[in-house]
Structure 1
């Protein structure tokens, strides 16, 4: 029989409802009977003791809020009776040791990846087109239309066919099957953005680092870059960013400046000819076996619910620990969603300098949010709150579970590239696409993305594996969910069993044997983080 409530940590004074509870229900839990005082939807929290105003609310073993008034035992926590509160952190307070999981069965496993000259290994082989400034977005879109029509032979959108039939007043036209791509071993992708000029210089420099990270990402074989000429993000700034990340970059990077080339027609003709020849060469790169230590995996969540922190996120944490034990790399981002768990993460930092850097980045980020008239306490979205995540600290405590239990080997600011294997922390916003965009720019070659509500996010160069926290979502939105962890909620699988299944799935995706749902939907999201103001 499925349990009705669960306490995540032995020190917690609240529990999570695993099913809908009715007022008057009496639940036997830890040797006593708890009477439910209010109708409580699954994923929401009930009190295990009586709270007075100001009392500390503990979940996941950490402070996640305080009572804003008296709350009786067995009542539901809401935004009306709880307010956000997290512990103040000033530095490392305890030593840290870690026992790695047993990964003997995975040590000799490999994936089929694209080996780059700098030693990195990609899970995709992509030729990437992008602009240095938004003024070139139209030209990139034109190139996208031309290349996709001739190289990718895309079939017509069924919704386009539906509208055509409605306009003509005839029957719905059958959609023809997709023709074979001209090249079978490379994808051609296009990204646009609203940056590169008009803002402060620091924003353009930040964008340069991000775009340089995309070029250096092991999933990219080469790139075609469009510049206008007069913008803040000058070609030399982009080249300097590339050189900083990889002084020995050997990939082909074709750069074109419109104001030096004259007419649009002339520029596009040159770009098409030269890019086509480069893409033909990149198509000759083939997949070869690589150890799992070459996987660099981003850990992301979006559209979270009250189950995310007890099923999907801990499963990612277990996968992260397995990957680290195999000398691979995992990257945990979304700094607003680490508010409240800073002490644990600082204590896990392998060196004091990284712990200090993490706290400095967190404090600077929070100050910028406060200066803008908001705060980290505003992080939970209406969807989060509706499904039981009512304070930022509560959301953060569950979100941090994606990072597992291993030591933190590196702390990166936005736009910095991964240099150390093991668990890294990356400063990004909590916004799903901005964070995922940054993870890929820092060098991850795939992303594990948990969701409890359903988030159709993808990336132009890296596979995004969508993980649902509950079975209902996977059944309702099967077109965006790759793997689901509802069996953990029902007690049918352990976190460890789910993690083993997930790692096996990741290897199939990394080897190109399975396409993610985001890739099948051609979901190519790219949103840089604009940290400054516009001028």
Structure 2
């Protein structure tokens, strides 16, 4: 069979080897049978982003990528074979958690030399990147009315006199009743709502309920820790006398807040005031090669400048959590992370599932075979610095540096929890093409491959695919991304903001029985 000459990707090769000990390489583009990659000849066509064996792998032996186990061969695999779901499976195996083994001294940038951005400093000292008025709902029954109120502020001219207000948004959800009035389910919902109520990107808000729901506004508001100067209104549809009366009252309440909300000016603040959320969605095989490592490089820069980053998606670090426990500054932090991993194992088993239910069909089409492979690429978003804290879903993140939050892998639920924890900018990597936004926090989209970036240029903010397509270094792309994070925090709109995304993606994690 003739050899097909191909020259693309890192070092001008048709494939990418991520570690010398790996027994697979990744196709840099669709490769026809007969192509020579890494010294072996392809036995069949291999799609872009998929894996090729470069050494014999016996049945039952581990498949290695990133010098880590990503699965086990279900049949003998010969050099040149396509390696994917047809010949690789997920299995449980022991990981060496080696708590704290990789902890190093962080080399902070001197305070006088730290990067800055133009932020909005609230009366309580918190720093915002956006300036919204919000409508939060205690229950799904008030969702439509909340949206009707927010829609009134989209009428031409209504906000013209308030140029410093980014808008009025309604964040609604599908729960709040048909649930127990105590326990984990309502606690998570109330913690999420409190996180948004206290979020610095809200100048003020209206909390709207129906009136007879389990999640009463009084119970929701008990946990709020709000600056007394922040304008807040609460009301229920039943007390107001119905939908029309509530819309009228809600609009009036928010109009009263507008003059105060408008009285802000951006000022120079250090990057240490930034809280950066990290998430991925619609991943492909390049996620762990381009966008996620580039985001990790930006996180390392942010941490050295004194800032905070929050990694989430516990099901998508599964099988790679040992890389995080090695970076934990305290054994208790590592133990909390491992405890969450065990919780997820029990949770999925109880519902007849498996941790390998993830990756999704789209992930697999992009070349990801098992959750182990996906997770090893996903943890790259967290860079290389020490792990300083592990938090429950929507819990307020107080530690500086690189932290982790227990969230599901489902993008809107994960992002909702991370923003409730305090994220004021979100970075979202995607290989298949996700269009998620997440008001009141701006979302920067990072494309893992140049082809998708060009095809979806109206949604993608930065092309990390140049790491392969143009040979740009991970560090260089990470530095550009860090600057874009600062620019976004200073008010530069992301493409998802330009398109108006962000209201529908508020999805609190629903736990417990629906009754």
Question: What interval of TM-score do these two structures reach, taking the shorter chain for normalisation?
Answer: over 0.9
Contact 1:63 / 1:85 at 8 angstroms: preserved in 2? Answer: no
3-state SS of paired residue (2:133): strand
Q: Does 1:77 align with 2:83?
A: yes
1:94, distance to aligned residue in structure 2 (A):
5.4
C-alpha distance after superposition, 1:365-422 (max 9, x if no partner): 2211121111110111111101100111001100110001111111011120111111
Give the structure 2 partner of residue 233 of structure 1. 215
Question: Does structure 1 residue 488 correspond to structure 2 residue 459?
Answer: no
Counterparts of residues 37-48 of structure 1 (less than 5 Å): 37-48=43-54
Q: Which residue of 2 aligns with 1:370?
A: 349
Q: Partners in 2 of 1:333 and 1:222 — Cα distance? A: 27
Matching residue of 2:4: none
Q: In structure 1, what is the equivalent of residue 28 of structure 2?
A: 18
Distance 2:236 2:294 in 1: 47
Change over 3 Å in CA distance of 1:86–1:328 after alignment to 2:
farther
**1:528 corresponding residue in structure 2:** 508
1:239/1:90 CA distance change after superposition, 3 Å: farther
Q: Encode CA deviations 1:483-530: one digit per residue, 9 max, x unaligned.
A: 011110135210111111111111111111x21110011011211111
Aligned equivalent of 1:188, options 168, 179, 186 = 168
Correspondence for 1:242 among 200, 219, 224: 224
Alignment equivalent of 1:299, drawn from 269, 278, 289: 278
Cα deviation for residue 92 of structure 1 reads 3.7
Query: Take 2:157 and 2:276, find their aligned partners in 1: how far apart are those partners?
Result: 30
- Which residue of 454, 458, 467 corresponds with 1:479? 458
Gap change, CA 1:100 and 1:15, over 3 Å in 2: farther
Would you say the 8 A contact 2:446–2:462 is kept in 1? Answer: yes
SS at match of 1:423: strand
In structure 2, the CA distance between the partners of 1:209 and 1:47, relative to structure 1 (3 Å rule), is same
Structure 2 residue 330 is matched with structure 1 residue 324: no
**Unpaired segments of 5 or more residues in structure 1?**
154-180
Tell me: CA distance 1:14–1:100, structure 2 relative to 1, closer, same or farther (3 Å): farther
Is it true that 1:142 corresponds to 2:148 in the alignment?
A: yes
* 8 A Cα contact 1:411 1:424, kept in partner: yes
Map of 1:337 onto structure 2 = 316
How many angstroms apart in 1 are the aligned matches of 2:113 and 2:94? 40
After alignment, is 248-257 or 417-426 more displaced? Answer: 248-257
SS in 2 for 1:204: helix
Tell me the secondary structure at the aligned position of residue 52 of structure 2: strand
Q: Are 2:203 and 1:221 equivalent residues in the alignment?
A: yes
Residue aligning to 1:212? 194
Measure, in 2, the Cα distance between the counterparts of 1:355 and 1:152: 51
CA distance in 2, matches of 1:439, 1:144: 24
Give the gaps of 5 or more residues in structure 2: 1-6
Which shows bigger deviation, 520-529 or 2-11?
2-11
* Structure 2: distance between partners of 1:17 and 1:210: 41
1:62/1:105 CA distance change after superposition, 3 Å? farther
Aligned length: 500
Helix, strand or coil: the match of 1:417? Answer: coil
Question: Counterparts of 2:106 and 2:47 in 1: how far apart (Å)?
Answer: 37
Shift of 1:228: 2.0
| Distance change in 2, residues 1:341/1:44 (3 Å) | same
Runs of 4+ displaced beyond 6 Å: none
1:89 to partner: Cα distance: 4.2
Matching of residues 33-112 of structure 1 within 5 Å = 33-85=39-91, 87-89=93-95, 91-93=97-99, 95-98=101-104, 100=106, 107-112=113-118
TM-score (ref. length: structure 2): 0.93
Q: Distance in 2 between matches of 1:130 and 1:108?
A: 36
Question: Which sits farther off after the overlay, 370-379 or 312-321?
Answer: 370-379
Aligned 1:113-512 pairs, distance under 5 A: 113-149=119-155, 181-186=160-165, 187-201=167-181, 202-243=184-225, 250-512=229-491
SS in 1 for 2:435: coil
